Amino acid sequence: MNHFLDIHKTDATDLRAMIDQAGAMKQARLGRPKAALDDEQALKDRMVALIFEKPSTRTRVSFDVGVRQMGGQTMVLSGKDMQLGHGETIADTARVLSRYVDMIMIRTFDETILTEMAEYSDVPVINGLTDRTHPCQIMADVLTFEEHRGPIAGKKVVWTGDGNNVCASFLHAAGQFGFDLTFTGPAQLDPEEEFMGLARQKGSKIVIERDPHKAVEGADLVVADTWVSMHDSQSAKERRHNMLRPYQVNTELMSHAKPDALFMHCLPAHREEEATSEVMDGPNSVIFDEAENRLHAQKAVMRWCLGV
């Protein structure tokens, strides 16, 4: 049994195998008769609990569909409707759920909730996003990049805006998959030093460049994300927008990257804020492939967790 808690906590060889298996399962579903699919029994007779303490569209639907495609069943649970949201401890919740289900995916707030769930669970636990990281998203993003441009190793990724939880998982992936990452954004929103250090220790070139035009020079991939995350105070919205406006990804900024540089955004987006519709709907944008690949990448993650 394996927990999928974070990219830097998962063996790099296993991560590579998951990306390759995700791509193979995706290809197998294109134009193949259902009976010929090798993944449709992988989770037969398995029950997966999907716990959401925060809103979700992609994570909720892609996990639900992924489990069903592999022959399993899901129960989608809202944190506030569980005793977890009314004082029951995480440890007790984990021990009880382990008696009912075969795997737990949780989207939550503080990462200690995730790690405590994993510590007390007898079944695999998957990180569906915490305030600190979002590893499933970046598994999908690596798969998406490689589908379009081949191996991501040695490439230059530029993260624009807020060094948030998604950026953190991109830094973890830089170290594990061997690419470089430049962060461009205001100093107040820099990614955590610890995460940049981890990537550097693995040999990745991690750069902070305040000038977004300089940052995107030579970029193979430019990434934007919402300027105000779910865990950010809404009262800080105006201040954040003022700080982040120079980092908007628009056609002019993209013109400084490589001509074939891809554009990614994990969605949901605030169009015309962190990125313009011209870029999001433009020829270099792969945002909807990213969303689709949540499904395929997470299927591989779940198989790895259960060893099936």
The set of catalytic residues is 107, 134, 137, 225, 266, 294
* Cα dist from 291 to 3, 29, 92, whole Å: 23, 17, 34
Return the range that interacts with ligand CP (CB under 6 A); candidates 55-63, 170-178, 199-207, 214-222.
55-63
59 counts as binding ligand CP under rule CB under 6 A: yes
User: For ligand CP, which stretch binds (CB under 6 A), given 6-14, 66-74, 181-189, 262-270?
Assistant: 262-270
Note the helical H segments in 202-265.
212-215, 237-244, 251-254
| Amino acid code (one letter) for 171 | L
Is residue 76 a contact residue for ligand CP (CB under 6 A)? no
Binds ligand CP by CB under 6 A, chosen from 57, 89, 242, 255: 57
- Residue choice 58, 156, 240, 303 for contact with ligand CP (CB under 6 A): 58
Q: Is residue 164 near ligand CP by the rule CB under 6 A?
A: no
Other CB atoms closer than 10 Å to residue 232's CB: what's the count?
Answer: 15
Cα torsion 192, 195, 198, 200: sign: negative
Query: Is residue 267 at the binding interface for ligand CP, with CB under 6 A as the rule?
Result: yes
**Residue of 117, 266, 287, 297 interacting with ligand CP (CB under 6 A):** 266
Q: Quote the least distance from Cβ 269 to ligand CP, whole Å.
A: 10
Nearest CA to 153 among 180, 172, 189?
A: 180
Q: How far apart are CA 7 and CA 173, in angstroms?
A: 6
In the bound complex, what is the minimum distance in angstroms from residue 56's beta carbon to ligand CP? Answer: 3
Q: Taking a C-beta distance cutoff of 8 angstroms, is the pair 253, 213 a contact?
A: yes
SS (H, E, C) 198-220: HHHHCCCCEEECCCHHHHCCCCC
Minimal distance in Å, beta carbon 92 to ligand CP?
27
Choose the binding region for ligand CP from 19-27, 56-64, 197-205, 275-283 (rule: CB under 6 A). Answer: 56-64
Q: Which residues contact 201 (CB under 8 A, 6 or more apart)?
A: 175
Question: Minimum CB separation from ligand CP for residue 137, in Å?
Answer: 5
204 vs 192, 196, 200, CA distance in Å?
A: 16, 9, 5
Q: Verify binding: residue 27, ligand CP, rule CB under 6 A.
A: no
Backbone angles phi, psi at 116, to 5 degrees: -70, -40
- Considering beta carbons, is residue 98 or 169 the nearer one to ligand CP? 169
Q: Minimum distance between the CB of residue 134 and ligand CP, rounded to whole angstroms?
A: 6
Q: Per CB under 6 A, which region of 51-59, 185-193, 212-220, 256-264 contacts ligand CP? A: 51-59
**Which residues ranging from 268 to 287 are in contact with ligand CP (CB under 6 A)?**
268
Give the Å distances, CA to CA, from 131 to 128, 178, 248, 288.
11, 25, 23, 24
Task: Pick between residue 146 and residue 290 the one whose CB is nearest to ligand CP.
Answer: 290
| Distance (Å, whole) CA 33 – CA 40 | 12
Q: Which residues of 143-235 form beta strands (DSSP E)? A: 156-160, 180-184, 206-208, 221-224
Choose between 98 and 144: whose C-beta lies nearer to ligand CP: 144
Choose the stretch contacting ligand CP; rule: CB under 6 A; options: 42-50, 54-62, 176-184, 277-285.
54-62
Of the candidates 98, 130, 137, 184, which one interacts with ligand CP according to CB under 6 A?
Answer: 137
CB of 31 to ligand CP, least distance (A): 28
Interacting residues with ligand CP (CB under 6 A)? 56-59, 129, 137, 266-268
